A and B are shown apart, each in its own frame.
Chain A
């Protein structure tokens, strides 16, 4: 176990930012910390890194208690903070070299790592640029390079894709997969579902400072009653027939979203066939019809009663 957090409690006066938060991270995995803004993801990371005081709980990294003076542990860690955290008046290359040099003292090895990091984040053409001359996406890449250049065993990535264009976002996500393949354990916080689905082997869903649930994507989806969603749009439908849709076998809920109906099914088979039979029996004509598996948003919705992006 590389990271072990037990019953972590952090209060800001009356506000409970972390409420008996627990987390365990195995070596070599990518753990996604998923939750809406303000749910305590960054606070949890800052407590784990001994940047923030906490009221209760235990934190162990690499089997040792983490304190502000745990320099031996810090040598194995890389942090990519939520905000771009670089020196404004150092160039891209200088910034990466400076932060890498805080871990790697051998000059030739550092030079190699810096070159690799520049290549890794695709900033070769910008290495002599100052951060203020970079776009938001490129700044984020620099932010990542400064946190990973020294090839840490454990990397904390705190919402690294916020306010990033699609191209840079894909670049960053692929890079994170690459880092994991090279052996780094990654803790990735985000409120973007699709990123977690794409990247993470295991996920912890947080809300109001608590971990609501944790497991693999499949495990999480198995925890909820909805097993299938079918989206259908009709040429025309009256209110009476609309109400009757709830009587289709295994339907647990029908939501109208503009012209579309989202029909949620619980465990059961042949849901599409049952729906098609309903359409035929009621002489309806559909414009579109497709099936979806439940998303992590459905998991979050069912467990907390609210949308992840609320």
Chain B
């Protein structure tokens, strides 16, 4: 235990004084958040106006649309449909058979499509349509109402929560004699690699969580975007994201004989790819993937984190929390077990 505490102390010092760590794990996420805010500020400030939806007079879903506050129903004659859409007098037209006609894609059109999809679903399930609140996903009682851009910030938090990956790789390099000079010395001492690594994981988790907190404080109080309302689940997902990141880094580092820089590169590309899929580059990608490849959204750890952060904080929806926690925990266990197998004390073919 004493040895573990000493390792934690010295590894904390070594990591905190590492300028590369300070930049990539502490400063870079904040810069990225500021950059996103500057880039998307205009879009985020949009207050969603009423959506003008055209229908013909005898449309069977007209009463449902009337009930949605956000939707302004306009009765349109059949020969005027195209003209009104072209002139943007209406944002979308819903036909009696629930087919949708729009001129362009956008937030308003997406919302109408979602409503139509939900109506279709209710019809298929033979459930009374007036028993369902079709506006629930769009009329949120929080400040960031109807703001798909907020997904980017949840994706950003998800991505940086996994930034422990880089420190994980560095820590493993420090104890592998074929990857670093310090590794040669450490392997000649009576220190067990496993003890060093446990200390490293604890240090990385603590430092990364602090860096995540700084990012959230920056977004919440300086950019004034209210992201976190549900602290308990949010913390749990961020913690699991951190654990996933560190263990993924450990696995990348121990599983091959590539140079440390190449390992870091692999980790970075992998993380960026997962972030891309989770909607960090554009929320449209996340939405498209979720509709076309729902399995991807369910297995991508960063999507699990960002989606759950979004759901529990903005939609007050905890339906997928359990599933998310289970999947992330399985990932962590699998990564830990495989890494352990690779890490067992061994001699090297070459140093």
Contact = CB atoms under 8 A, between A and B. Distances in A.
Nearest to A84: B181
A52 to B, nearest CB: 6
Interface string A148-171: 000000001000000000000000
Interface in B299-351: 345-351
B31 interface: no
Contacts of B10: 87, 90, 94, 98
B18 interface: yes
A192 B349 CA distance: 28
B159 to A, nearest CB: 25
Nearest to B345: A68
B190 A68 contact: no
Interface in A54-79: 68-69, 71-72, 74-75, 77, 79
Nearest to B2: A105
Contact of A89 (B17, B185, B345): B17
Contacts of B60: none
B1 to A, nearest CB: 11
Interface residues of A, number: 35
A51 B350 contact: no
B191 interface: yes
Contact of A103 (B189, B348, B349): B189
B13 A89 contact: yes
A49 B17 CA distance: 31
A85 interface: yes
A50 interface: yes
Given A74-B189, A89-B17, A146-B185, A68 B347 contact: yes
Nearest to A71: B190
A52 B349 contact: yes
A86 B182 contact: yes
A100 to B, nearest CB: 10
Interface in B5-20: 6, 10, 13-18
Q: Which of A68, A83, A130 has the most CB of B within 10 A?
A: A68
Interface residues of B, number: 31
Interface in B148-188: 174, 177, 180-182, 184-188
Contacts of A85: 180-182, 184-185
A107 B346 CA distance: 30
A99 B14 contact: no
A36 interface: no
Interface in A80-96: 81, 83-90, 94
A35 interface: no
A49 B2 CA distance: 26
A101 B6 contact: yes
Contacts of A52: 347-351
Interface in A32-55: 46, 49-53
Given A71-B190, A81-B181, A103-B190, A53 B349 contact: yes
Contact of B18 (A79, A89, A99, A103): A89
Contacts of B191: 102
B3 interface: yes
A232 B219 CA distance: 83
Contacts of B181: 81, 83-85
A50 B348 CA distance: 9
A12 interface: yes
A65 B309 CA distance: 55
Contacts of B17: 89-90, 130
B177 A51 contact: yes
Contact of A53 (B186, B190, B348): B348
A77 B188 contact: yes
Contacts of A88: 14, 18
A209 interface: no
Contacts of B177: 46, 51
Contacts of B6: 98, 101
Given A68-B345, A85-B181, A101-B6, A51 B14 contact: no
A105 B3 contact: yes
A232 B116 CA distance: 106
B174 to A, nearest CB: 8
B349 A51 contact: no
A147 interface: yes
A89 B17 CA distance: 6
Interface of A: 12, 46, 49-53, 68-69, 71-72, 74-75, 77, 79, 81, 83-90, 94, 98-99, 101-103, 105, 130, 146-147, 156
Given A51-B177, A103-B190, A105-B2, 14 more contacts: A51-B187, A52-B349, A52-B351, A53-B348, A74-B188, A81-B181, A83-B184, A85-B182, A85-B185, A86-B185, A101-B3, A102-B3, A103-B189, A130-B17
